Structure 1
Amino acid sequence: MDYRKLKQEFKTPFYLYHFDEIKENFLKLKQVFKARKSQIFYAMKANSNLSLLQMLAKLDSGFDCVSMGEIQRALKVGVKPYKIILSGVAKTREELEFALKSDILYVNLESEAEMLLLEDVAKFLNLKARISIRVNPNVDAKTHPYISTGLHENKFGVELDLARKMYLYAKNSHFLEPVGVHFHIGSQLMDFSPIHEAAQLVAQLVKELKALKIELKFFDVGGGLGVSYENEKEPHLYDYAQGILAALNGLDVTIGLEPGRFLVAKSGELVCSVLYEKITAKKRFVIVDAAMNDLMRPSLYNAYHEIILPYNQGEKSLCDVVGGICESGDFLAKQRELEQTKSGDILVVKNAGAYGFSMSSNYNTRMRPCELALENGKIRLIRQRESFKDLIALEENFLN
């Protein structure tokens, strides 16, 4: 990759996504479930760039959305409503109305109160709402507590007993139609045994519901497939699929999959430039033109991202890679061994395709970077760099 040429044309910082790698990941996941009916619903929160969504839609991807805005993004690139599901714990009446009017595949319910609100919305619109219920199976995902979602202490989903009551209520409602069940126990999972355990528990619920004449069509296992950020051993997709297929033995359901990070994380890079080095009595700082507003994960989770200096050679020493945000928590890496740098050197933050740009902000009135796609050997701009005019567009008309 000729980063120097890209820097000359687009300036830094910028995100670069390898679309061909994302396609390959999508097709690999689809392949391991070829023995059963299945549908991939890309978890849009990982990276919601319109060009990326359009590319995945052409591969027949569905989309897992967690806001009205994400539904609108999917519809904008031509996704059919029956390929869209709506998840999330805090859906508003406006969002539920929009989802029903758009005739999306189904709404993933997270609570009894949400079910009653959706029923009221459906009654108001004189429509029938297709629903799935997110079950919290109380299985430890063995991941970072911030991205663990399947324990009773987490805010997501409902316990099995309450789920049964909700399904029975929905079955008897004129405005609700139960069509699916859903669980998602956490993200960045490197051990699949918790997913397989959860699948067994939820499959048993589906069998019990079937005995009550509640026939579900979709069995959504969520996402959570982990990727290697720091030399972790990535488990095999075949093993992942086989455990889920075994749990569903005897059930005629379509398997729903919600990959996000798995598809895009390792296919994205944040490319930035060194501004200067700062040496103190105890520390070496490499100060770059990207910051926590561009990539939040290190500051938020203390997440590790490999960093390379593609054109630098020589001895390495420990340093912190930091940006210009006025926060001590603004860093891309700490205690990292890197070659010596000078102003203008290019630095590449690897594995930044998921939860990079999608979590970025304008904190300190910094403009978010541009985004590029590499596809079929060609680079193209898929989001232009923000300008100061973009930032103040919603404010300037209110000045006295």
Structure 2
Amino acid sequence: MSDDMSMVSPSSAGEHGVLRSMQEVAMSSQEASKMLRTYNIAWWGNNYYDVNELGHISVCPDPDVPEARVDLAELVKAREAQGQRLPALFCFPQILQHRLRSINAAFKRARESYGYNGDYFLVYPIKVNQHRRVIESLIHSGEPLGLEAGSKAELMAVLAHAGMTRSVIVCNGYKDREYIRLALVGEKMGHKVYLVIEKMSEIAIVLEEAERLNVVPRLGVRARLASQGSGKWQSSGGEKSKFGLAATQVLQLVEILREAGHLESLQLLHFHLGSQMANIRDIATGVRESARFYVELHKLGVNIQCFDVGGGLGVDYEGTRSQSDCSVNYGLNEYANNIIWAIGDACEENGLPHPTVITESGRAVTAHHTVLVSNIIGVERNEYTEATPPAEEAARPLQSMWETWLEMHETGNRRSLREWLHDSQMDLHDIHIGYSSGTFNLQERAKIAL
């Protein structure tokens, strides 16, 4: 273990001297509550992070064991006492395992509620975090887990971690001959290796190498959907995305496999809308469209057994439960329910079997488990003067901003914060425009900068 990376468990915390100092003055419950509200920890912390009575951030690696907590400030002191310097990355493998259990449990509840007969399998994309400690913590969690590779190098790492056990492996991304050959070797080793066809040029190489190695390939197809999410990674989905087959190409692939006598090899349907999907409606729309591909492929005689909805399960970094790039407007249960219900309804309406559902949820598994603690090299504070009411003859935007200010402090309703923000932004914009056009003078503009 390098000096700047530490694996932490509640049981070992005491050995490192992570004990609350009785000499420190405890923070009042009112102060602690204010800190929780100010930094919104209760929402983005997701029961893993909290503020203790000393005002320190505490980490609960396993929310099922809430009494096992680590004081992050004391942990840093203990590491510094051993000669380690900041910055340092603290890793909590128990959080990884709890995230995996939580996602699996959400899909189990959704399947039981719907009466869904198919299985569920989480496939971890190692590109999210390739560290050995992460992959081994997940593999040894006792939970069912597959691995996803998006390149030849990643596939080599996946096969090394999978060992001699039979594992589900999904191969995405650009595939040259060596990548395809390596995936087929993994199939011969006893793994369930799904080679997902994302470009028409790949299928000929797959069939050639499969015949050369005398192995029956296990294939998937990535459908290029019209549905597209929003956010930073929206280009991963939609009709103009780089990967995936259009509807006409899916039909061509089916005919090529039928003529080659390998139609039974096509067993997995895959789509990917993008990472960190903020809006549950975008996810539901994509699943419903992809479910139509599942139905139509069955009509063509293709026995699709696995439905891989790809990634997209987001993390609420802000704790705002909104549609911003750093948040999501849904939880685990709603995510699982939307997927299971959409696929289940399509199957029931067309008399088709329920396929095994696969998700490639890497971000949602790993995001909470590491904490980077950095040394502070400087502090900058904004000095504010007390706001005063504008003059009676002041322009309407100034009056409006003052009314918003009073409403914020008098009601304290946090649910209205976004509305107040939008109102103030509009007033601020009007003042800036008015100043540029000569409607407002310098004193009036300075008023909004207090």
Aligned with residue 119 of structure 1, among 201, 207, 217: 207
By percentage of residues, which structure has more helix? 2
Q: 2: CA distance between counterparts of 1:38 and 1:267? A: 23
- Give per-residue Cα distances to partners, 1:54-109, cap 9 Å, x unaligned: 11112221111112322232333345353211111x22211110110111421111
Query: For residues 167 and 254 of structure 2, what CA distance do their matches in structure 1 show?
Result: 22
* Preserved CA contact (<8 Å) 1:50 1:73: no
Instruction: Report deviation, 1:39.
Output: 0.7
Larger deviation, residues 205-214 vs 182-191: 205-214
Q: Which residue of 1 aligns with 2:361?
A: 259
Structure 2 residue 343 is matched with structure 1 residue 248: yes
Aligned to 2:434: none
**Equivalent runs, 1:80-95 vs 2, <5 Å:** 80-88=165-173, 90-95=174-179
- Cα 1:105/1:10, change in 2 over 3 Å: farther
Larger radius of gyration: 2
SS at match of 1:39: strand
Aligned with 1:108 (options 180, 196, 206): 196
Rate the CA distance shift 1:153–1:212 in 2: closer, same or farther, 3 A. closer
User: 1: CA distance between counterparts of 2:273 and 2:331?
Assistant: 19
Alignment of 1:1-400 (within 5 A): 1=72, 2-7=75-80, 8-34=82-108, 35=111, 36-58=118-140, 59-78=143-162, 80-88=165-173, 90-103=174-187, 104-144=192-232, 146=233, 148-174=235-261, 177-233=265-321, 234=328, 235-249=330-344, 250=347, 251-274=353-376, 276-277=377-378, 316-317=381-382
C-alpha distance in 2 between matches for 1:17 and 1:117: 42
Q: Corresponding residue for 1:362?
A: none
Deviation at residue 192 of structure 1 after TM alignment: 1.6
Distance 1:151 1:223 in 2: 14
> Contact 2:228–2:286 at 8 Å: present in 1 too?
no
The 2-side partners of 1:196 and 1:75 are apart by 33
Name the CA distance, whole Å, in 1 between partners of 2:84 and 2:304: 50
The amino acid of 1:163's aligned partner reads V
Give the AA of the match of 1:151.
G
Contact 1:63 1:74 (C-alpha < 8 Å) held by counterparts: yes
Counterpart CA distance in 2 for 1:41 and 1:169 is: 28
Count matched residues.
279
Could you say what secondary structure the match of 1:45 adopts?
coil
Distance across 1 between alignment mates of 2:84 and 2:253: 53
Amino acid at match of 2:357: I
Distance 1:267-1:100 versus aligned 2 partners, 3 A rule: same
SS of the residue 1:42 aligns to: strand
Q: Provide the secondary structure at the position in 1 that maps to 2:303.
A: coil
Larger RCO: Structure 1 or Structure 2 (Cα < 8 Å, ≥ 6 residues apart)?
A: 1
- Which residue identity lines up with residue 271 of structure 1 in the other structure? V
Where does the alignment leave 5 or more consecutive residues of structure 1 unmatched? 278-285, 287-314, 319-400
Q: TM-score, normalised by structure 1?
A: 0.65
**Is residue 224–residue 246 contact of structure 2 (8 Å, CA) maintained in 1?**
yes
- Residue identity (%): 25
Check whether the contact 1:222–1:258 (CA below 8 A) recurs between aligned residues.
Answer: yes
- In 2, distance between residues paired with 1:102 and 1:270? 36
Distance change (3 Å), C-alpha of 1:190 and 1:37? same
The residue aligned with 2:28 is none
Q: Report the 3-state secondary structure (helix = DSSP H, G, I; strand = E; otherwise coil) of the residue aligned with 1:206.
A: helix
Pairwise CA distance, 1:11:
3.3
TM-score by length of 2: 0.58
Q: Tell whether the 8 Å contact from 1:44 to 1:65 is kept in structure 2 after alignment.
A: yes
- Give 1:170 deviation, angstroms: 2.0
Bigger Cα displacement from structure 2, 62-71 vs 167-176: 167-176
Q: CA deviation at 1:269?
A: 2.0
In 1: Cα distance, 2:78 partner to 2:259 partner: 63
Partners of 2:105 and 2:177 in 1: how far apart? 38
Describe the shift of the 1:93–1:127 C-alpha distance in structure 2 as closer, same or farther (beyond 3 A).
Answer: same
1:340-374: per-residue Cα shift (whole Å, max 9, x none)?
A: xxxxxxxxxxxxxxxxxxxxxxxxxxxxxxxxxxx
- Listed as ranges, the gaps of 5+ residues in structure 2 are 1-71, 112-117, 322-327, 348-352, 384-450
Measured at CA, do residues 3 and 213 of structure 1 come closer, stay the same or move farther in structure 2, by a change above 3 Å? same
CA RMSD of aligned residues (A): 2.2
Return closer, same or farther for 1:179/1:256 CA change in 2, 3 Å cut-off.
same
Q: Which amino acid aligns with 1:248?
A: I
Is the 1:81–1:102 contact (alpha carbons within 8 Å) kept by the matching residues of 2?
Answer: no
1:150 aligned partner, one-letter code? G
Q: Report the CA distance shift for 1:164/1:241 in structure 2 as closer, same or farther (over 3 A).
A: farther
Task: Look up the match of 1:382.
Answer: none
Change (3 A) 1:245 1:60: closer
User: Which amino acid counterpart does residue 242 of structure 1 have in structure 2?
Assistant: N
Cα deviations across residues 137-184 of structure 1 (Å, max 9, x unaligned)?
12121111x453111222121122322321332233245710110011
Secondary structure of the residue that 1:256 maps to in structure 2? Answer: strand
Q: Which SS does the other structure have where 2:313 is aligned?
A: coil
- Give the Cα separation in 1 of the matches to 2:129 and 2:369: 11
